[in-house]
Amino acid sequence: MFTKTKVAALGAVAAIALTACSSDDGGDTADVAASDFPEGSTMAALAEAGSITIGTKFDQPLFGLVGPDGVPVGFDVNIGTIIAGELGIAPEDITWTETVSANREPFIEGGQVDIVVATYTINDDRKEKVSFAGPYYNAGQSLMVLADNTDITGPDDLAGMNVCSVEGSTPAANIMENYPDANLELFGAYTDCLEPLRNGQVDVVTTDNVILAGYVDDSDGEFAIAGEPFTEEPYGIGLAREDDEFRDWINDVLEEIFEDGRWLEAWNADGSAGTVLPEPEVPSVDRYEN
Ligand code: GLU
Protein backbone atom coordinates (compact mmCIF):
# COMPACT_ATOMS: atom_id res chain seq x y z
CA MET A 1 0.00 0.00 0.00
CA PHE A 2 2.85 2.29 0.97
CA THR A 3 4.83 1.29 -2.09
CA LYS A 4 1.86 1.86 -4.39
CA THR A 5 1.41 5.39 -3.08
CA LYS A 6 5.01 6.12 -3.80
CA VAL A 7 4.96 4.74 -7.29
CA ALA A 8 1.88 6.84 -7.99
CA ALA A 9 3.62 9.90 -6.59
CA LEU A 10 6.64 9.38 -8.80
CA GLY A 11 4.34 8.93 -11.77
CA ALA A 12 2.70 12.24 -10.92
CA VAL A 13 6.03 14.03 -10.76
CA ALA A 14 7.14 12.51 -14.05
CA ALA A 15 3.86 13.69 -15.57
CA ILE A 16 4.49 17.19 -14.23
CA ALA A 17 7.93 17.24 -15.83
CA LEU A 18 6.55 16.11 -19.17
CA THR A 19 3.68 18.59 -19.17
CA ALA A 20 6.07 21.35 -18.30
CA CYS A 21 8.48 20.65 -21.04
CA SER A 22 5.93 20.27 -23.77
CA SER A 23 4.19 23.52 -22.82
CA ASP A 24 7.47 25.33 -22.37
CA ASP A 25 9.83 25.13 -25.26
CA GLY A 26 8.65 22.04 -27.08
CA GLY A 27 11.62 19.98 -25.91
CA ASP A 28 11.66 17.27 -23.32
CA THR A 29 13.92 16.86 -20.32
CA ALA A 30 16.47 14.87 -22.33
CA ASP A 31 16.86 17.84 -24.70
CA VAL A 32 18.36 20.09 -22.03
CA ALA A 33 22.11 20.34 -22.59
CA ALA A 34 24.97 21.84 -20.64
CA SER A 35 25.44 24.30 -23.52
CA ASP A 36 21.99 25.77 -22.74
CA PHE A 37 23.57 27.33 -19.63
CA PRO A 38 26.36 29.89 -19.16
CA GLU A 39 29.80 28.32 -19.39
CA GLY A 40 31.28 27.53 -16.01
CA SER A 41 27.91 27.81 -14.22
CA THR A 42 26.65 25.29 -11.67
CA MET A 43 23.71 24.67 -14.00
CA ALA A 44 26.07 23.71 -16.84
CA ALA A 45 28.10 21.47 -14.52
CA LEU A 46 25.01 19.65 -13.21
CA ALA A 47 23.48 19.31 -16.68
CA GLU A 48 26.80 17.92 -17.93
CA ALA A 49 27.01 15.45 -15.01
CA GLY A 50 23.38 14.39 -15.59
CA SER A 51 22.90 13.95 -11.86
CA ILE A 52 22.25 16.03 -8.78
CA THR A 53 22.33 15.41 -5.02
CA ILE A 54 19.42 16.94 -3.16
CA GLY A 55 19.12 17.13 0.62
CA THR A 56 15.63 16.66 1.99
CA LYS A 57 13.83 15.38 5.07
CA PHE A 58 13.15 11.65 5.28
CA ASP A 59 10.66 11.63 8.17
CA GLN A 60 8.20 14.39 7.40
CA PRO A 61 4.95 13.25 5.74
CA LEU A 62 3.63 15.55 2.99
CA PHE A 63 7.05 17.20 2.43
CA GLY A 64 9.75 14.52 2.51
CA LEU A 65 8.97 11.03 3.70
CA VAL A 66 11.14 8.12 2.66
CA GLY A 67 9.80 4.65 1.98
CA PRO A 68 11.46 1.24 2.01
CA ASP A 69 13.04 1.75 -1.43
CA GLY A 70 14.89 4.84 -0.20
CA VAL A 71 13.01 7.29 -2.42
CA PRO A 72 11.31 10.11 -0.56
CA VAL A 73 7.88 11.52 -1.44
CA GLY A 74 6.30 14.91 -0.78
CA PHE A 75 6.11 18.56 -1.80
CA ASP A 76 9.81 19.32 -1.16
CA VAL A 77 10.74 16.23 -3.15
CA ASN A 78 8.49 17.35 -6.02
CA ILE A 79 10.03 20.85 -6.04
CA GLY A 80 13.53 19.33 -6.10
CA THR A 81 12.48 17.00 -8.90
CA ILE A 82 11.20 19.89 -11.01
CA ILE A 83 14.48 21.81 -10.56
CA ALA A 84 16.43 18.71 -11.57
CA GLY A 85 14.15 18.30 -14.60
CA GLU A 86 14.93 21.86 -15.70
CA LEU A 87 18.60 20.82 -15.72
CA GLY A 88 17.78 17.81 -17.89
CA ILE A 89 18.16 15.42 -14.95
CA ALA A 90 15.56 12.64 -14.74
CA PRO A 91 14.02 11.62 -11.38
CA GLU A 92 16.02 8.38 -11.33
CA ASP A 93 19.27 10.36 -11.61
CA ILE A 94 18.61 12.33 -8.44
CA THR A 95 20.46 11.20 -5.32
CA TRP A 96 18.32 12.00 -2.27
CA THR A 97 20.36 12.58 0.88
CA GLU A 98 18.71 12.88 4.26
CA THR A 99 19.29 16.29 5.78
CA VAL A 100 18.02 16.78 9.31
CA SER A 101 17.55 20.32 10.60
CA ALA A 102 21.04 20.72 12.06
CA ASN A 103 23.11 19.46 9.15
CA ARG A 104 21.61 21.50 6.30
CA GLU A 105 24.15 24.35 6.38
CA PRO A 106 27.15 22.01 6.93
CA PHE A 107 26.05 19.72 4.09
CA ILE A 108 25.72 22.68 1.70
CA GLU A 109 29.01 24.22 2.85
CA GLY A 110 30.82 20.88 2.62
CA GLY A 111 29.44 20.08 -0.84
CA GLN A 112 27.70 16.85 0.28
CA VAL A 113 24.56 18.16 -1.43
CA ASP A 114 24.01 20.48 -4.40
CA ILE A 115 20.79 21.94 -3.01
CA VAL A 116 18.59 21.47 0.06
CA VAL A 117 14.80 21.40 -0.21
CA ALA A 118 13.80 20.49 3.34
CA THR A 119 11.18 22.70 5.06
CA TYR A 120 14.12 25.09 5.32
CA THR A 121 13.31 28.52 6.73
CA ILE A 122 15.09 31.46 5.12
CA ASN A 123 16.59 33.63 7.85
CA ASP A 124 19.47 36.06 8.39
CA ASP A 125 21.62 33.73 10.51
CA ARG A 126 21.52 31.03 7.88
CA LYS A 127 22.13 33.55 5.09
CA GLU A 128 25.60 34.08 6.56
CA LYS A 129 26.47 30.50 5.65
CA VAL A 130 24.29 29.55 2.70
CA SER A 131 22.19 31.20 0.03
CA PHE A 132 18.44 30.80 -0.46
CA ALA A 133 16.25 30.79 -3.54
CA GLY A 134 12.56 31.24 -2.84
CA PRO A 135 10.45 31.24 -0.82
CA TYR A 136 8.34 28.57 -2.51
CA TYR A 137 6.02 28.22 0.53
CA ASN A 138 5.23 30.14 3.73
CA ALA A 139 4.70 28.07 6.89
CA GLY A 140 4.46 29.11 10.56
CA GLN A 141 5.51 27.59 13.87
CA SER A 142 2.76 25.78 15.74
CA LEU A 143 2.18 23.31 18.61
CA MET A 144 1.04 19.69 18.65
CA VAL A 145 -0.42 18.00 21.73
CA LEU A 146 -2.32 14.83 22.61
CA ALA A 147 -5.85 15.27 21.27
CA ASP A 148 -7.40 15.31 24.76
CA ASN A 149 -5.11 18.10 26.01
CA THR A 150 -7.12 21.33 26.17
CA ASP A 151 -4.71 23.17 28.51
CA ILE A 152 -2.34 24.37 25.82
CA THR A 153 -3.69 26.78 23.22
CA GLY A 154 -0.62 28.85 22.34
CA PRO A 155 3.03 29.54 23.18
CA ASP A 156 2.13 31.53 26.29
CA ASP A 157 0.92 28.28 27.89
CA LEU A 158 4.34 26.64 27.61
CA ALA A 159 5.83 27.76 30.95
CA GLY A 160 6.73 24.64 32.96
CA MET A 161 5.72 22.34 30.09
CA ASN A 162 8.01 19.73 28.56
CA VAL A 163 8.39 20.83 24.95
CA CYS A 164 10.01 18.71 22.27
CA SER A 165 11.71 20.05 19.15
CA VAL A 166 14.79 19.54 17.00
CA GLU A 167 18.38 20.77 17.21
CA GLY A 168 19.28 23.43 14.67
CA SER A 169 15.67 24.37 13.92
CA THR A 170 14.08 27.82 14.02
CA PRO A 171 11.17 26.65 16.26
CA ALA A 172 13.66 25.43 18.88
CA ALA A 173 15.57 28.72 18.68
CA ASN A 174 12.33 30.66 19.11
CA ILE A 175 11.37 28.72 22.25
CA MET A 176 14.85 29.20 23.76
CA GLU A 177 14.78 32.92 23.07
CA ASN A 178 11.18 33.92 23.70
CA TYR A 179 9.69 31.22 25.96
CA PRO A 180 12.56 30.43 28.36
CA ASP A 181 10.21 29.03 31.02
CA ALA A 182 9.42 26.03 28.82
CA ASN A 183 11.49 22.87 29.45
CA LEU A 184 12.84 22.33 25.98
CA GLU A 185 14.04 18.87 24.96
CA LEU A 186 15.87 18.62 21.68
CA PHE A 187 16.28 15.60 19.40
CA GLY A 188 17.76 15.08 15.95
CA ALA A 189 14.53 14.76 13.97
CA TYR A 190 10.85 15.47 14.61
CA THR A 191 9.81 11.81 14.59
CA ASP A 192 12.00 11.41 17.73
CA CYS A 193 9.38 13.59 19.52
CA LEU A 194 6.38 11.41 18.66
CA GLU A 195 6.85 8.55 21.15
CA PRO A 196 7.69 10.95 24.02
CA LEU A 197 4.44 12.82 23.25
CA ARG A 198 2.48 9.57 23.14
CA ASN A 199 3.81 8.33 26.48
CA GLY A 200 3.56 11.67 28.29
CA GLN A 201 7.31 12.30 28.57
CA VAL A 202 6.69 15.60 26.77
CA ASP A 203 3.52 17.71 26.68
CA VAL A 204 4.05 19.46 23.36
CA VAL A 205 5.90 19.05 20.08
CA THR A 206 6.72 22.27 18.29
CA THR A 207 7.73 22.91 14.70
CA ASP A 208 6.07 24.28 11.56
CA ASN A 209 2.30 23.88 11.28
CA VAL A 210 2.54 21.91 8.03
CA ILE A 211 5.01 19.37 9.43
CA LEU A 212 2.79 18.84 12.48
CA ALA A 213 -0.24 18.51 10.18
CA GLY A 214 1.40 15.47 8.60
CA TYR A 215 1.92 13.80 11.98
CA VAL A 216 -1.62 14.63 13.09
CA ASP A 217 -2.96 13.17 9.86
CA ASP A 218 -1.01 9.94 10.45
CA SER A 219 -1.96 9.67 14.13
CA ASP A 220 -5.49 8.27 13.94
CA GLY A 221 -6.88 11.00 16.15
CA GLU A 222 -4.17 10.68 18.80
CA PHE A 223 -2.50 14.08 18.17
CA ALA A 224 -3.97 17.54 17.54
CA ILE A 225 -2.72 21.02 16.65
CA ALA A 226 -3.07 23.52 19.51
CA GLY A 227 -3.81 27.12 18.56
CA GLU A 228 -2.65 29.13 15.58
CA PRO A 229 0.77 29.53 13.94
CA PHE A 230 2.83 32.18 15.73
CA THR A 231 5.87 32.78 13.49
CA GLU A 232 6.60 33.14 9.78
CA GLU A 233 8.68 30.38 8.24
CA PRO A 234 9.34 31.09 4.56
CA TYR A 235 10.72 27.93 2.93
CA GLY A 236 13.73 28.41 0.68
CA ILE A 237 15.98 26.23 -1.41
CA GLY A 238 19.44 26.24 0.16
CA LEU A 239 22.56 26.37 -1.99
CA ALA A 240 26.19 27.51 -1.79
CA ARG A 241 26.41 31.05 -0.46
CA GLU A 242 28.51 32.56 -3.21
CA ASP A 243 26.58 31.04 -6.12
CA ASP A 244 24.36 33.99 -7.14
CA GLU A 245 24.04 32.75 -10.70
CA PHE A 246 22.57 29.42 -9.55
CA ARG A 247 20.30 31.18 -7.06
CA ASP A 248 18.97 33.56 -9.75
CA TRP A 249 18.33 30.63 -12.05
CA ILE A 250 16.43 28.65 -9.37
CA ASN A 251 14.40 31.79 -8.61
CA ASP A 252 13.56 32.05 -12.32
CA VAL A 253 12.42 28.40 -12.30
CA LEU A 254 10.26 29.03 -9.22
CA GLU A 255 8.61 32.07 -10.80
CA GLU A 256 7.94 30.04 -13.92
CA ILE A 257 6.32 27.15 -12.04
CA PHE A 258 4.24 29.49 -9.85
CA GLU A 259 2.87 30.85 -13.12
CA ASP A 260 2.42 27.75 -15.28
CA GLY A 261 0.69 25.56 -12.68
CA ARG A 262 3.51 23.11 -11.98
CA TRP A 263 3.97 24.42 -8.43
CA LEU A 264 0.33 23.70 -7.61
CA GLU A 265 0.52 20.30 -9.30
CA ALA A 266 3.54 19.52 -7.12
CA TRP A 267 1.51 20.58 -4.07
CA ASN A 268 -1.45 18.40 -5.02
CA ALA A 269 0.43 15.28 -6.19
CA ASP A 270 -0.05 11.94 -4.41
CA GLY A 271 1.67 11.88 -1.02
CA SER A 272 2.20 15.65 -1.15
CA ALA A 273 0.95 18.50 1.02
CA GLY A 274 -2.28 19.19 -0.87
CA THR A 275 -3.69 15.80 0.13
CA VAL A 276 -4.13 17.22 3.66
CA LEU A 277 -3.51 20.98 3.60
CA PRO A 278 -5.50 23.76 1.91
CA GLU A 279 -4.27 25.31 -1.31
CA PRO A 280 -1.66 27.95 -0.45
CA GLU A 281 -1.28 31.43 -1.86
CA VAL A 282 1.43 31.76 -4.44
CA PRO A 283 4.52 33.15 -2.64
CA SER A 284 6.73 35.96 -3.96
CA VAL A 285 10.36 35.18 -4.59
CA ASP A 286 12.72 37.33 -2.51
CA ARG A 287 15.83 38.23 -4.53
CA TYR A 288 17.63 39.64 -1.51
CA GLU A 289 21.09 41.24 -1.58
CA ASN A 290 23.84 39.29 0.15
N1 GLU B 1 11.31 25.51 9.07
C2 GLU B 1 12.00 25.33 10.29
C3 GLU B 1 13.51 25.27 10.11
O4 GLU B 1 13.96 25.39 9.05
C5 GLU B 1 11.51 24.10 11.04
C6 GLU B 1 11.43 22.86 10.23
C7 GLU B 1 12.72 22.12 10.13
O8 GLU B 1 13.44 22.02 11.14
O9 GLU B 1 12.99 21.61 9.06
O10 GLU B 1 14.24 25.13 11.05
Q: State the burial class of residue 192 (Cβ atoms within 10 Å of its Cβ: 0-12, 13-18, 19+).
A: middle
Opening angle at CA 136, ends 56 and 92, nearest 5: 40
Low-confidence ranges of the chain (pLDDT < 70): 1-30
Whether domain 15-138+234-275 has CATH 3.40.190.10: yes
Q: Would you say the CB of residue 119 lies under 6 angstroms from ligand 1?
A: yes
- Taking the centre of ligand 1 as the mean of its atom positions, its distance from the CA of residue 161, in whole angstroms, is 21
Q: What is the pLDDT of residue 222?
A: 98
pLDDT for 159 = 97
Identify the pLDDT of residue 29: 61
Instruction: Supply the pLDDT for residue 290.
Output: 84
Q: Residue 20's pLDDT is what?
A: 42
Q: Which CATH architecture has domain 141-226?
A: 3-Layer(aba) Sandwich (3.40)
Residues 80, 117: Cα–Cα separation, whole Å: 6
The minimum-distance atom of ligand 1 relative to the CA of 171 is: 5
Backbone angles phi, psi at 28, to 5 degrees: -115, 175
The pLDDT score that the predictor gives to residue 22 is 40
d(CA 99, CA 58): 8
Q: What are the pLDDT digits (tens) for 50-67?
A: 999 999 999 999 999 998
Residue 86 near ligand 1, beta carbon < 6 Å: no
Tell how far the Cα of 208 is from the centroid of ligand 1, in angstroms. 7
Ligand 1 atom closest to the Cα of residue 57 is: 9
Residue 170 Cα to ligand 1 middle (Å): 6
230 Cα to the center of ligand 1, angstroms: 14
Given the CA of residue 169, which atom of ligand 1 is nearest to it? 10
Per-residue DSSP letters for 259-284? HHSHHHHHHHSTTBGGGTSPPPPPP-
pLDDT in tens, 75-116: 999 999 999 999 999 999 999 999 999 999 999 999 999 999
58 lines ligand 1 (CB under 6 A): no
**Ligand 1 atom with least separation from CA of 168:** 10
For ligand 1, what atom is nearest to the CA of residue 101?
Answer: 8
Based on DSSP, count helices (H) and strands (E) in the chain, helices before strands: 10, 13
Residue ranges, CATH 3.40.190.10, the chain: 15-138+234-275, 141-226
Whether the CB of 166 sits within 6 Å of ligand 1? yes
The whole-number pLDDT of residue 30 equals: 59
